[in-house]
Structure 1
Amino acid sequence: MSKEKIFKELIAEMAKDGEISSSEYEILLEKGMDLGFDTNTVDLLIKLELADSSNRSYDNGKDNELTEQDEDCEHKFKSAITRGGDVLTPDIIIVSENSVTYKKRNKYLINVDSISIPISKISSVELDSSLWGTDIIIKSVGAGEIIGKKFTKSDAKEIRRLIQEKQNR
């Protein structure tokens, strides 16, 4: 993954609401400088990404980059790099109609480790929020547990809501 793509992903993550605050701009400027971009390049990349994200949200009806929904009613969530999540090995939680699956590429980038728990076996969903992101702990009866790290708080709450909704059916 090129440094420009990584930086664009960071911009997209920070501009989820269609705007970038002054503190977010300072962070982007600092990270851009770390990647070797000058101020003009950082400004240009931000403008392009904001224009691109507004086109995507207009086309899709809503801006929903981290959450994907398929015809099979599957919801996919990735850990956020802006919250300290790993770019190369992100935590991925997939909530489907009958199960919750956790996937993470291993440190050698060759295999994907995965845990799947049926919705009926889930006993609790805990959210541990901190300044650097929200950790999700999904405990089950006899099927282990899932610990997803560095998700946005909104994604973590949506995961909990989806699981509780599917349990009540």
Structure 2
Amino acid sequence: MDKEEIFKELITEMASDGDISPSEYKILVAKGKDLGLSQKAIDLLIQLELSTQKPALENQVEARLTFVDDKQSNEVYTFKSAITRGGSILTPDTIIIDGTTVTYKRRNKYLINTDSVSVAISKISSIKIDTSLWGTDIIIDTFGSGKIIGKNFTKSDAYEIQRLIKERQ
């Protein structure tokens, strides 16, 4: 192994996170000079190694993001209408989003049972958000199944519901 290969290996170990800190740079300069390399050669080798490592790091990040996206599609998200926005304490509207369906649940007027409507995400045609002073209504239009109207959600919940549905379409 010649001195350049040894130095490249050292750079690779130091830059395992994709970057070199100032203290790591000082160590690399000292080791490079111990190996008989000039300052210019040290800087060039560091730049070369960092530029060849970037694509590998980006591929690792993309693989992690893909894994996270796959994991998120299996999670179940539940949103309830806000009491502070005029939602009922006893009968809150609930929207449940999983990987393939959106389910809307609310208590019926007798408070004994719940009425629920489930729609496949692929059958959703549009999502409208109607914001007012007292709360935000979510209107989900579907192909052939009518509308789902969830009342008195917080604005942040409404936009999160919209984002989750659009992400899965």
Pair 1:74 & 2:43 matched: no
How much does 1:71 deviate?
Answer: 9.5
Mapping for residues 49-128 of structure 1, pairs under 5 Å: 72-128=74-130
Report the count of equivalent residues: 98
CA distance in 2, matches of 1:125, 1:71: 19
CA distance in 1, matches of 2:79, 2:159: 11
CA distance in 1, matches of 2:95, 2:146: 15
- TM-score norm. by structure 1 comes to 0.56
**Aligned residue number for residue 147 of structure 1:** 149
Task: Kindly indicate whether the alpha-carbon contact (under 8 Å) linking 2:73 and 2:168 is maintained by their aligned counterparts in 1.
Answer: no
How much does 1:72 deviate?
Answer: 4.1
CA distance in 1, matches of 2:109, 2:88: 10
Q: Give the match's secondary structure for 1:100.
A: strand
CA distance in 1, matches of 2:118, 2:108: 16
Question: For residue 77 of structure 1, what is the amino acid of its counterpart?
Answer: F
Question: For residue 166 of structure 1, what is the amino acid of its counterpart?
Answer: R
* Deviation digits for residues 77-125 of structure 1 (CA, Å, limit 9, x no counterpart): 0000000000000000001100100000112111100011100000000
CA distance in 1, matches of 2:145, 2:130: 21
Question: For residue 110 of structure 1, what is the amino acid of its counterpart?
Answer: I
CA distance in 2, matches of 1:163, 1:121: 11
What's the % identity of the aligned pairs? 65
- TM-score norm. by structure 2 comes to 0.56
Larger Rg: 2
CA distance in 2, matches of 1:82, 1:99: 28
Which structure 1 residue ranges, 5 or more long, are not aligned? 1-69
CA distance in 2, matches of 1:78, 1:149: 10
Which structure 2 residue ranges, 5 or more long, are not aligned? 1-71
* Deviation digits for residues 131-163 of structure 1 (CA, Å, limit 9, x no counterpart): 000000000111221000000000000000000
